Amino acid sequence: MVPGWYGMTSVKWLESIEFVERPFTGYQMAHCYRYSQTKEEPGAPVDLVRVNALMTPPGIPDFLTRERLVKQGAVLLRGRAWAGRLRVIRVEVSSDAGSTWADASLEEPVSEFAWRGWSFLWQASQGRHELRVRATDESSAKQPDAEWNYHGMGNNAVQRVAVLVE
């Protein structure tokens, strides 16, 4: 296990260990596990997990639209946030597609590398809403609205959940 790194770094079905004096440059590490914008660009290596927060979508899912159906009134939103080896210091929630953000309540961390729980009491009003959640770590890195790279590595875009309040 390599705490704070993506799963590709955690070895599965270990048969042997070989110690090397410099960073390993096998095909995957040299060409695939990279943040690059084009096939030709070498890009930076994928290492620590990027700051991220996710929510448990509220209400009941509508099968066809994937929209969530929620009753009007107080709705407790909950989720988890994490950030490699850095501490999550803030989680924010938006109910208006990112126009305004409000701080969620953070739970105390269980351990150094554990996901950190958060909650937010949303006053759901009738109509369609797009809920969003984002986290910030202690280096001030914040989840982006969207960030693309050639291999699709490290996706930590802000989570968006469509909600219909009845």
**What tens digit of pLDDT does each residue of 17-46 get?**
888 888 778 888 888 888 888 988 988 888
- 83-92 pLDDT, tens digit each: 988 899 999 9
Say how far apart CA 139 and CA 88 lie, in whole Å.
9
DSSP 40: S
Residues 6 or more apart from 21 whose CB is under 8 A from it?
none
pTM as predicted: 0.84
Distance CA 140, CA 138 (A): 5
pLDDT in tens, 64-73: 888 999 999 9
Contacts of 58 (CB under 8 A, 6+ apart): 68, 70, 75, 76, 77, 122, 131, 161, 163
Can you name the CATH fold of 52-165? Immunoglobulin-like (2.60.40)
